[in-house]
Amino acid sequence: MGFKVYLDDVRSVPQPDWILIKTVPELIVLIQLIGDQIDVISLDHDLGLNTPSGYDFVKWLEKKVFDGKYKAIPELRVHSKNPVGRKNLENGIRAIWKRLEEK
């Protein structure tokens, strides 16, 4: 079983077996290092003022998938309470999965 990653700057992990990541740059580094060992990533949208959001991560991942960098990705979940941010995250995730299905 692989790792479970929780992107959030305020909340604690939902279970002790999750890894807490607080920023998008940290998550990108983790994906680049051990992305093939991650099973699930749960995303928050709002990660503080003047910092990349969970949606910025989804856009980064979408570009990498579209460029052919990633042919498989972990399960992506959304736990954001921001309704607009949640919708953006969900739409971005759908676009990623659609692209992967086309390949």
What is the torsion angle, in degrees rounded to the nearest 10, for the CA atoms of residue 21, residue 93, residue 60 and residue 100?
120
Q: Which fold does the domain 3-102 belong to in CATH?
A: Rossmann fold (3.40.50)
Rounded mean pLDDT, 9-28: 96
The whole-number average pLDDT for the span 6-13 is 96
Query: How do the domains of the chain map onto residue ranges?
Result: 3-102
Instruction: Give residue 41's identity as a one-letter amino acid code.
Output: I
- Residue 68 above 90 pLDDT? no
Do residues 57 and 23 lie in contact, with contact meaning Cβ atoms separated by under 8 Å?
no
pLDDT band at 103 (very low <50, low <70, confident <90, very high): low
Q: Residue 20's beta-bridge partner residues?
A: 6
